[in-house]
Structure 1
């Protein structure tokens, strides 16, 4: 199996690594690790494509009618006055016209039917007057039609040899349609990535357990399971670890032999009861730790054997942000997907706020329609434990290291949660000022 991380690719020569540098290191070194299999098209939605999908014939394979009507040769048609043509036959989808066509003849044709040889234009049936002249029927085509009207050209969707889908794409319904359109009934996909989810802390209770003073319910594990599933991987919850180094080390060692990656929340700092970083150092190799961001600074990346370990902070907001910015792209690449870069939209700020220079920050925000224009409103509080701020937000404002203040009206980069496959809560508030 291919190594998930190159052992010598990271240099820990600073206290905190800049955001972009951390991403570039990971992007250049993390590689796909899962095996591949042929998967029926009915089961490939959401899977990562392992091999290119290439056309073996043009799509569509032949010129065809875009409407129901009458096909004729534009060379025999008077565009200024219109023309009458004898109707010599009929063509339907799947049943092409087979007979000879006189120099100035028309064929009754239905949508999707192959264009008869020598005919290049279709008049819509509602525009055509049909009349009997003795034993024959004639179609009068009104003036004004351009040559090639209402005709779909062979290969206009895709030419022979064209790559429709590149390896690494996460297959959507429209991608599956492209594969089906060239006759494939299955495609090569990566097997789903297996990810272990662990929580740490003596204070952590699992939802459903009886509450007691000094305890807090584990919101991270269920959230991470949803985030991992949205990223196209398979999450397995391994429970809560107490603040005991021996038990943390044992759990990490066991999980590293059974999973492609481990995502663990809590215990990421250097406190007396924070054992994750120390255990990674003892069992394997730590590659990254302490990133110059807010929230989420005490975050670690490493490996135990061939298993990638991603250590997240304990506060839910920091877990959420770090997952989107770092964990999600790492898991996507490990799973065989192309490195995902979320879109950023430049929008005016509807607030004024100072910021500390030297670190990248991600602020929770909502979109508001104000005087007919979208603006970004920052969530008023910044606490990393405020799950309500994630629930109420439409996305994140990303601010670079050099920014020290945002003034009302300044353009800021907004990353919508919908870019990650969720976040359809959006219900714009309209305001007039």
Structure 2
């Protein structure tokens, strides 16, 4: 059995990064991982322009004490420009986004002036360069605006479009094969047999994987039969970059995933000193990474979140990101065995005068409600046996709440 930290380290060390780059339409790149840095090919905005509807003037024509009348020489809607410099005593009617003419160094909002046909009276108190957006104010030509490894979000796609790009290079999405095992596990939609459970693990993991942005190869629900498990893992090893199975990795008579994996591939480690999640396996099956997760729903999700998800992000080419960790006072009391890292399902109360965290209640590895109510995992180190009210604890925020 290895420690939690060693398990995470080994997995990440063994995780390859996608080396296949695809070119996708910007409009179809949401959630994909950027494969190369993006540099601004021109200034954005590409010209000095008005930040509001009003009147473009020369600041040196204005009087700090008195209103000044100016002659209106042009009307500039967005997209139009004046090709001659603004002369002394002149002003232009200008709309938001229209390029300001040469010599214009102040835009006065339309609601602040008195205007009549051909003339505008500008009050005192205007500031030089007021209400002008300068070329390159958003992005300067030649500067890096998006880095390799960034997951493209809605704003990123708009940014790419503002640079005139219609396609973007991204890393290929990994294919992740997913299966559940167990003779006592059944699909939802049919009456539940006594002593059986519905296959909640595959539903939760499929949703988590889809949200992460990988391609899911659903291998279904596989009975605890050596031939069936061999067939499923063989298919996964041939078609996927990673395989996730749930159940069958403990030491029972019908826990067949581990021996089949040993026969078909390689076991890197089995059993981790963590609770929940002790019975888990990690290995290789052909070119695919293999993650054997516990069958208990909470243990399955905790291991996925803490170990599998981090590995898949690396495989996807995503830039490394620190885990969202904070330190908070604990409310309650918890006893535990030393020698293993515990991860309690917790609820952080951000709205309290002083934020704190408490457990979500009973912490059994099969109690899915404890995970559904949690917005954090409370991390208790291996050497700690007692957690008391007021103790400072490390909290890992969950992204599903």
Q: Specify the TM-score bucket, using the shorter chain as the normaliser.
A: over 0.9
Of residues 338-347 and 170-179 in structure 1, the stretch that sits farther from structure 2 once superposed is 338-347
Q: Is residue 57 of structure 1 aligned with residue 38 of structure 2?
A: no
Q: Confirm or deny that 1:43 pairs with 2:21.
A: no
Q: CA deviation at 1:287?
A: 1.9
**Cα separation, partners in 2 of 1:145 and 1:292, compared to 1, 3 Å:** farther
Correspondence for 2:17: 32
Please name the residue that 1:256 is paired with: 237
Whole-Å Cα distance in 1 between the matches of residues 110 and 89 of structure 2?
A: 18
What is the rounded CA distance, in whole Å, between the counterparts of 1:153 and 1:368 in structure 2? Answer: 44
| Structure 2 residue 314 is the aligned partner of structure 1 residue 333 | yes
* Structure 1 residues 88-146: Cα deviation after superposition (integer angstroms, max 9, x where no partner): 212221111223421232111111111111212111110112245xxxx3322222222
**Structure 1 residues 152 and 407: CA distance shift in structure 2, 3 A:** farther
Change (3 A) 1:30 1:148: same
Native 8 Å contact 1:228 1:235 kept in 2: yes
Q: 1:166 to 1:31 in 2, by over 3 A?
A: farther
Deviation for aligned residue 1:312:
0.3
Q: 1:109 to 1:308 in 2, by over 3 A?
A: same
Gaps of 5+ in 2: none
TM-score normalized with structure 1 length = 0.86
The structure-2 alpha-carbon separation of the partners of 1:208 and 1:144, relative to structure 1 and needing over 3 Å to count, comes to same
Match of 1:117 among 102, 108, 114: 102
Q: Which of 16, 34, 41 is 2:2 aligned to?
A: 16
Distance apart, 1:256 and its partner CA: 0.5
- Shift of residue 262, structure 1, vs aligned partner: 0.8
SS of 1:220's partner is helix
Distance 2:159 2:13 in 1: 30
Equivalent residues of 1:349, 1:409 under 8 A apart: yes
Instruction: Please state whether the residue corresponding to 1:318 is helix, strand or coil.
Output: helix
TM normalised by structure 2 equals 0.93
* 1:208 equivalent in structure 2: 189
Maintained 8 Å contact 2:23/2:170 = yes
Q: Secondary structure at the match of 2:7?
A: helix
Q: How many residue pairs end up in the alignment?
A: 401
Within the alignment, does 1:224 sit opposite 2:209 as a pair?
no
- Match of residue 219 from structure 2: 238
Tell me how far 1:281 sits from its aligned partner.
2.0
Structure 1 residues 241 and 100 mapped into 2: Cα distance closer, same or farther (>3 Å)?
closer
Tell me the distance in 2 between the aligned counterparts of 1:400 and 1:139: 72
State the shift of 1:366 in Å: 1.9
- For 2:313 and 2:352, how far apart are their aligned partners in 1? 39
Query: How many Å apart are 1:369 and its aligned residue?
Result: 5.7
Q: Which residue of 1 aligns with 2:72?
A: 87
Of 127, 131, 139, the match for 2:112: 127
Residue 255 of structure 2: aligned partner: 274
Distance in 2 (alpha carbons) for counterparts of 1:115 and 1:239: 63
SS of aligned partner of 2:55: strand
Q: Is the 8 A contact 1:70 1:124 kept in 2?
A: yes
CA 178–205 in structure 1, closer or farther in 2 if over 3 Å, else same: same
CA distance, structure 2, for counterparts of residue 79 and residue 402 of structure 1? 72
Kept in 1, the 8 Å contact 2:58–2:86? The answer is: no
Pick which of 382-391 and 28-37 moved more: 28-37
Q: 1:374 aligns with which of 352, 355, 360?
A: 355
Closer, same or farther: CA 63–355 of 1 in aligned 2, 3 Å:
farther
Are the equivalent residues in 1 in contact too, given 2:11–2:282 (CA < 8 A)?
no
Whether 1:399 aligns to 2:380 is yes
Deviations 1:369-416 (A, max 9, x none): 665343222112110000111222223223333444333333333333
Partner of 2:81: 96
